[in-house]
Amino acid sequence: MHFEPWNGGARVRLRVDGHLQDAGELSAGWARTVVQRVRETLESPGEQGPHLEGFIRSPENGTHGLYYVTIVASRRGPSVTFIDISAPEFGASLSELAVPTEDRDELIELLRARSGVVLVAGTNRAQKLRFFDLLLREKKAAERKTFTLGRMPWFSEDRYIQVRVRTEEAGEALDALRVIAEQEPDIVAVEDAWNERVVALIFQSVQRPVLCMAGLHLRTALAALEYTLDAVPNRTLVAEGLRGVVAVAAFRRLCPECRKPDERTAEAARKLGLSHAEIKAGALRRAEGCAVCGGGFSGLVPVVEVLRVDRETAEYLKIEESGPKIRDHLLAKGYRAIDVKVRNLILAGEIEFDEYPYAEGG
């Protein structure tokens, strides 16, 4: 939910499943009241200043909603954004995750690891953190000595030992990781491991018996793997420590009651990198809107990409420097990129091709 400076007051806009829509306007007085109330309520890990971020917990239907809130100063006035990071999108357990059985089985097998590193890639922070929560619940992390490291209070219940740091400050994250490692943890979940020094320390830390899940703001599992290989000079550390990489995303599902054939064959062929014949052989659909869905869409389709590092792949990572050759090795072992999975969903009529701008090519 966005409160943006507008005509002396504020414009209210809602982003639902990635799409922005106008919701109304506030007078100057009400806009000032909203900003002041947010500032008073904000749980902020940083210093107070013109640009703020923090969290607001709100009782909702007997449960507690959790919102990530930012306030940005501009010449026209403050802009406030609320992002709901509490609503589940992926189900309460892996058994409820609406993905193909082989993907679910790969995840279950990956989570059997008792030590090592599992990387979680994705470009939507809220979706990625909800998926983190799902993986930790599947590991029964609340029953173990589990630390979470980052700036987000990922969970509305204090089930884990949460260490709050500013993830963009590499020194803070490094110091926190070193101290956590001395606490003899069973599981460590790192919200954002974008800094190369943080990535390297994670792989050094798992030389002892601990399972570390680390997030990367990258779109695909292969991109996360390539970034890791560049970040950690010692290939043996990566090969011995990495158990797998998971990429996650979610897209709006077309309403099954009103979706209709999409005649934009030429545009779809160009964007998806397919022939006209391949497009026509599929079931390309687009949103229409009806009384059931209201706007053409009904819920979300989760897409999961799992790249599991077995012994053969680990040995290959030690010796191979070429990214394309590593990709070819993984493809030969059955790896399917998230782009291909999304393209298949588009051809099956589950989602619109407009939903995913990266689905070009094979």
305-333 per-position pLDDT tens digit: 999 999 999 998 988 766 788 888 888 88
Residue-number span of the structural domain to which 71 is assigned: 2-84
Can you give the CATH number for the domain in which 69 is found? 3.30.450.90
pLDDT of 14 reads 94
**299: amino acid identity, one letter:** G
Q: Is 33 helix (H, G, I), strand (E, B) or coil?
A: helix
Can you give the CATH number for the domain in which 106 is found? 3.40.50.300
Tell me which of 32, 56, 84 is where a domain ends. 84
Q: Quick one: 158 exposed, middle or buried, by C-beta within 10 A (0-12, 13-18, 19+)?
A: exposed
Query: Do 123 and 80 reside in the same domain of the chain?
Result: no
Contacts of 303 by beta carbon, 8 Å cutoff, 6+ apart: 99, 248, 249, 250, 251, 338, 341, 342, 345
pLDDT of 156 reads 46
Residues paired with 303 in a beta bridge: 249
How many Å from the N-terminal Cα to the C-terminal Cα in the chain?
A: 36
Mean pLDDT across the chain, nearest whole number? 86
pLDDT of 18 reads 67
Query: Do 71 and 161 reside in the same domain of the chain?
Result: no
Contacts of 128 by beta carbon, 8 Å cutoff, 6+ apart: 120, 121, 122, 215, 248
261-291 per-position pLDDT tens digit: 998 888 888 888 888 888 888 889 998 888 8
**303: amino acid identity, one letter:** V
- The answer to the question of residue 272 being in a domain is no
Query: Do 54 and 98 reside in the same domain of the chain?
Result: no
Return the exposure string of 311-324: e unless at least 16 CB atoms fall within 10 Å of the residue's CB, then b: eebbebbeebeeee
60-113 per-position pLDDT tens digit: 554 557 788 889 998 899 999 998 776 666 878 888 898 999 999 999 999 999
Distance, in Å, from the CA atom of 61 to the CA atom of 10, rounded to the nearest integer, reads: 28
Query: Do 297 and 162 reside in the same domain of the chain?
Result: yes
Q: Quick one: 115 exposed, middle or buried, by C-beta within 10 A (0-12, 13-18, 19+)?
A: middle
pTM for this entry: 0.84
Tokens in use for 329? 């090795």
241-251 per-position pLDDT tens digit: 999 999 999 88
- The answer to the question of residue 270 being in a domain is no
Tell me which of 57, 84, 111 is where a domain ends. 84
For a pLDDT cut of 70, what percent of the chain falls above it?
Answer: 90
User: Does pLDDT of 292 surpass 70?
Assistant: yes
Distance, in Å, from the CA atom of 185 to the CA atom of 209, rounded to the nearest integer, reads: 9
User: Does pLDDT of 362 surpass 50?
Assistant: no
Asked whether the CA dihedral 339, 197, 315, 306 is positive or negative, the reply is negative
Query: Would you say 191 and 178 are in contact if contact means Cβ atoms under 8 Å apart?
Result: no
Query: Do 80 and 160 reside in the same domain of the chain?
Result: no
Query: Do 188 and 52 reside in the same domain of the chain?
Result: no
Q: Which of 96, 20, 65, 16 is nearest to 302 (CA)?
A: 96
With cut-offs at 50, 70 and 90, classify the pLDDT of residue 167. Answer: low
Tell me which of 84, 105, 125 is where a domain ends. 84
- The answer to the question of residue 224 being in a domain is yes
Ranking 95-109, 144-158, 190-204, 340-354 by mean pLDDT, the lowest is: 144-158
Query: Do 100 and 173 reside in the same domain of the chain?
Result: yes
Query: Would you say 175 and 166 are in contact if contact means Cβ atoms under 8 Å apart?
Result: no
The tally of CA atoms less than 13 A away on the side-chain side of residue 352 is 17
- The answer to the question of residue 266 being in a domain is no
Query: Do 61 and 172 reside in the same domain of the chain?
Result: no
- The answer to the question of residue 277 being in a domain is no
- The answer to the question of residue 267 being in a domain is no
What is the bridge-based pairing of β-strands 146-150 and 161-164? parallel
Query: Do 149 and 212 reside in the same domain of the chain?
Result: yes
DSSP per position, 80-138: EEEEE--S-SS-SSGGG--S-HHHHHHHHHHTT-SSEEEEEE-S-HHHHHHHHHHHHHH
Question: If you ran DSSP here, which 8-state letter would residue 142 be given?
Answer: G
pLDDT of 240 reads 92
- The answer to the question of residue 185 being in a domain is yes
pLDDT of 351 reads 92
Residues paired with 83 in a beta bridge: 68
Query: Do 241 and 100 reside in the same domain of the chain?
Result: yes
Query: Do 150 and 212 reside in the same domain of the chain?
Result: yes
Domains: count for the chain:
2
Query: Do 125 and 240 reside in the same domain of the chain?
Result: yes
- The answer to the question of residue 280 being in a domain is no
